[in-house]
Amino acid sequence: MILVTGGSGLVGRHLKDILPDAIYLSSKDFDLTDINRVHAMMDLFRPKVVIHLAARVGGILDNMTYQVEYLENNILMNTNVLKKCHEFGVDRFIGMISTCIYPDKVDTYPMTEEDLFKGPPTPTNFNYAFSKRCMVAHVNSYVKQYNKKWCYLIPCNLYGEYDKYEEHHSHLVSALIKKIYESDGSIEMWGTGKPLRQYMYGGDLARIIKYMIDNDIVDNFNVAPKEVYTVKEIINIGKKACRKDKIVVNYDMTKPDGQYRKDVDSSKLLSVLGNFKFTTLEEGMKKVYDNFSKRYNK
């Protein structure tokens, strides 16, 4: 049996589309910060594979406002899930990290998996990043001490039909799509538009997770398309994908940009995936915009 935490989130719902027989759980089912509830969850389902997607996530403002919650909630969730996976003899564990845990600055880009601990993460999501670094150390410790077939993936920024659109939770692409849809001719975006970003369609990450399970691939990988765009380029691609080229974009430069760049190298992953093709940013944003438009109208 496969159990997926965070099953109601962006990646979880994409995964359910292609792996429907797994058990998908959300915070409404079990509070993963409560070790007794995690024990009850594992005792009830007795999974052989756990895909741990659950996390407290959000944008820059939310990260900076609720620093304690981002650190404590994520550390509690990750620790409780890993501890109980060990106690209940889970064979395969795949944890979800994020490229935001990488150092704020390094000498060479794109970053490889070996760069992870070469410096502190960016200040704008420092606590979230450290909670995820703790999970990296935790997984690696179980692998070394108990010879587990456990691993983690480090995806770049994600977007998809199932993303959150609330202002304090949403990331760049989701926020942009909502702004474009609601625009009366102009939109406002935070920062200068200069930072560099990789973005991946959530369905692509789901396909990679399924491929790893189906082919018994156990290793830690960066997961990202090779294309790196400035925020301004992403906004322009979004305007084109949403067929709203004439929208005027105003940049509020009093607001933070966040980390300047954090692009990663996925060569290690692609060497085992064969002919895997990532969804292009324009194609993916068009799919998400069309889906959002239908949902919003309803």
The closest of 122, 127, 176, 132 to 155, measured between CA atoms, is 132
Q: Residue 200 and residue 192: Cα distance in Å, rounded? A: 22
The closest of 153, 159, 243, 150 to 198, measured between CA atoms, is 159
Give the active site residues: 128
- Contact yes or no for 206/18 (Cβ under 8 A): yes
Residue 9 structure tokens: 């989130």
**What are the helix (H) ranges across 66-162?**
67-87, 126-146
The closest of 77, 4, 81, 96 to 39, measured between CA atoms, is 81
Q: Residue 106 and residue 112: Cα distance in Å, rounded? A: 11
Q: How many CB atoms sit inside 10 A of residue 163's CB? A: 22
The closest of 231, 224, 195, 197 to 208, measured between CA atoms, is 224
B/e letters for 60-70, b = 16+ CB within 10 Å, e = fewer, are bebbbebeeeb
Q: Residue 230 and residue 223: Cα distance in Å, rounded? A: 19
